[in-house]
Each structure stands twice: as C-alpha cells, then as structure tokens.
Amino acid sequence: MAATILFFDTDSCGFIQSASLAGMRRFALSLRWNLVVVPPAESGRDRLRALFAEHRPVAGCIVECSSGRRDLPPGVFGSVPVVYMHADPSLYGGRGRRVGYDDAAIAEAAFRELSAGLPAAFAVVPFAWPPGRRGWSMRREQAFAALAAKSGKPFFSLPWKRETKERREARLVRWLSALPRHTAIFAVGDMAALETAAAARLCHRSIPRELTLLGVDSNPALCEASRPTLSSILIDHELAGYLAAKAIAEAGDQAATLHEIAVRPLLALRRESTGGFGRREPFVLEAVEIIRSKACDGLTVASLASRFRCSRPLFDRRFREAVGHSALEEILHVRLEKAFTLLARTDVPVGAVADFCGFRSNIALHWLFKKRTGMSMSEWRKRNRHP
C-alpha cells in the first residue's frame, strides 16, 4: 500500500500555496506516495488520530505555519515525521524540521537590485496583515534596514499597525507623499508592493520616475496586473515544497536530515516599477528595452552602442552611470532569466540551453549559472524540473 503525506493547509495563499503543493506532489510522485491536503476545518489536533487511521500508512506530515498557527507541536504527531513550512524560528522552541526562505538573502537581493537605480534614499513597506506573518516581514525589514544604513543614504520605514485596509491606505498615501524624490522602496511581498503602487497613484507620485518599487515572490497575477507592472524578487516556492516532502523521506536518516532548510532567492524579475531615476535618460530606457527583447538573439554591447551612434566605451560609461551596472551585466541577467525558464519548464536538453539563451558556448553559461546558484544546471534541473 502506498504511503501518504498529509499536508495541513492552515493558510490558503493562492500562488505560493499552489507552487509549494506542486513541489510536494512532484517528490511524492517520485516515490509513488500519495499527497492528501487537509483543509483548515479538519486540521485540528483532535482530528489527528482519525486522519492517521484513514490514510494509513502515513509517511509524514507537513504543516503550513505562515499564518502563525501554534497548536500542532511535534509531540502530538508521535513517531510520525513532521515538517513545518514557513514557521517562525521561535515556534515550539525551534524544535522540528523546518523549510522556509532565507529572508536575509531576499533583502540582500532586493537591496542590490534597487541600488542599481542610484536612488537618493531607501524605504521599506512591511506586510499588512495578519499579525502571524510579522515574523518573516520583520526579518526582511531589519536585514534591508541594516544594508541601507551601511549605504549612508536616508532610510524610511512605514511603521506596522493593526488597522483597517482603508486606514492603512490613507496612512500609506501620507507616507509616500513625504518621501524624497528618487526613493527606492522595498515591499516585503508582492501584495505590499501592489498596495504601494495603488497608493502612489492616489498621491500622484510617479513610479518609476519619482519612486522605484520592488516586491517579493513575482506572483504574475499581481505583478502583471499592476500599473506600472511590478519588479519582484523571484522565489522558488515549488522547490520549498519539494524539499519539505524530501525531508519527510529523509526523516529516518539522521545524516541526511536538515532541521532547518532556507530556500534562497533566484534573481530579480525586472518590470516597469524599477525604471527609476538613474534610468530616465531616453536612450538608456530604449537600450534596456532592446536588451530585454533581443538579449537572447546574440545581441552584443558593441552592436547596441552602434544603434545609438556612439563608441562602446562612451556607451558603457553612460549606461553604467544611468543604471548602476554595465550593459553586459544587463544582457547576461536577461539571458539567465531565460535559462531558468528553459531548465524548469521545457524538455530542452541542458546542453542546448546556451544556444537558446544567446551564449556563444556552454562553458560561459555553466560558469555564470554556477556562480549565481551554487550548483550546475543539471543539478538545478533535477530539483526544479516540472514533471
């Protein structure tokens, strides 16, 4: 009889939840296990015995904790392995296997991306609600604030308050109105970024001309629906779900078990909201658009410079002054985005990915990919490829 993983769905959160479940299912399928989603109404500790009897044998349980749920400590599961997803470090005294996100690395990626626009100041917008999500929001805020302090530039933070949606919107409008021109804003999640973009329209603060804005998760339903579209840090939620299910399988092997797994961000997906102060020169904005559409077609910096009738050294200098990094770095960033897409979502052989992304050789792509992710493309595909 096939074993079953029970997933205690205590916080239905759409995009993230669906991606995490896809990763769990992918791992369960590899071992021919079943995955059963236990809805919130049936996930109380008083139901555990009945659930274990109904789905015997139970390989293990995964508990979603991002809403702050605290009523399922490791002890109530007995000998059944349990993994907590998105749990605050203080939960149950830090006991139990955990899978979450590296919030410090997320803040670092956001700061690096926002710094490229040469902002005059930095700011952070926390998650709105509920209080159970304050843990990861605060960790991202604090890590970003520390980086901003090192930069020596002014830093602003929207204080968190327990309030209605209407009052938060009004307070956000007042706060945005008072920010200096060319402030780079880090919203700790895409929903906070969407709120910020809407409030900016109400107070007539132009994004990206006056303010730049970056979220986290790159939820297409939110980022593409916003005006302007939202740049966002891409998080591999499917990998998080996969690793949670894998931790169940490794529960009996103490040498293989990791009690804390923190998934790092992949890269920033650049959309309209980070055009920014440094990128306002018309020729630079046009160059960025050409790179985003042609980078994988063999585009070179020399050919790009020739379009604007200037030498490569002059073009390089003006591009770097405007954007904060070189045109070559922008080209490589776009190509890497395409490589992630091909490796995760198609059956293109690993050896052919470089050709589709505009690299002249596999060696160049392999070196860049290894530097960015810490693993080879084959290793990354093995963890992330869709069934």
Q: What is the pLDDT of residues 202-244, one digit of tens each?
A: 999 999 888 999 999 989 899 998 988 999 998 888 889 999 9
Q: Provide the pLDDT confidence category of residue 256 given band limits of 50, 70 and 90.
A: very low
Last residue within a domain, chosen from 274, 293, 326: 274
- Same domain assignment for residues 135 and 170: yes
- Same domain assignment for residues 298 and 350: yes
- Same domain assignment for residues 68 and 147: no
Q: Which domain holds residue 213?
A: 103-234+268-274
- Same domain assignment for residues 303 and 322: yes
- Same domain assignment for residues 115 and 230: yes
Given this model, what pLDDT does residue 387 score? 47
Residue 90 in contact with residue 153, Cβ under 8 Å? no
> Which burial class, exposed, middle or buried, applies to 33 when counting CB atoms under 10 A from its CB (0-12, 13-18, 19+)?
buried
Residue 317 sits in a domain whose CATH number is 1.10.10.60
- Among 194-198, 332-336, 357-361, 370-374, where is mean pLDDT lowest? 370-374
* More reliable by pLDDT, 129 or 226: 226
- Same domain assignment for residues 36 and 52: yes
Given this model, what pLDDT does residue 282 score? 67
Give the total number of structural domains in the chain.
Answer: 3
State mean pLDDT over 293-297: 88
Query: Which spans in the chain are helix H?
Result: 15-30, 48-54, 103-115, 134-151, 165-178, 190-202, 220-223, 237-249, 282-294, 301-307, 312-323, 327-345, 350-357, 362-373, 377-384
- Same domain assignment for residues 339 and 246: no
- Same domain assignment for residues 95 and 242: yes
Which pTM value belongs to this model? Answer: 0.77
State mean pLDDT over 100-116: 91
% of the chain at pLDDT higher than 90? 29
Q: What is the pLDDT of residues 7-30, one digit of tens each?
A: 988 755 578 888 899 899 989 988
Q: What is the pLDDT of residues 315-349, one digit of tens each?
A: 888 787 777 678 898 898 889 888 888 887 667 78
DSSP secondary-structure letter at 274?
A: G
- Same domain assignment for residues 247 and 316: no
- Same domain assignment for residues 179 and 243: no
Last residue within a domain, chosen from 219, 253, 274: 274
- Same domain assignment for residues 130 and 199: yes
- Same domain assignment for residues 121 and 35: no
Given this model, what pLDDT does residue 79 score? 87
Residue 53 sits in a domain whose CATH number is 3.40.50.2300
